[in-house]
Structure 1
Amino acid sequence: MDPLAFNWYQGSRLSRTYWGPSYATSTEVMFLYYLGQTKAAANVYDGLRIVQVCAWYTRSSVIISGVACSTASSDTGIWTPGYVANTNAWDDLAFDAPKTIFVYRLGKINPNII
Structure 2
Amino acid sequence: MIDEKKLIETLKTCDFSMTPNVLVQESLEEIIEEQPKVGEWIPVSERLPKDFEKALTCDEHGNMHVMMHHHTFEVPFGIYESDARYYRPIAWMPLPKAYEVQE
| TM-score normalised by length of structure 2 | 0.28
**Larger helix fraction of residues:** 2
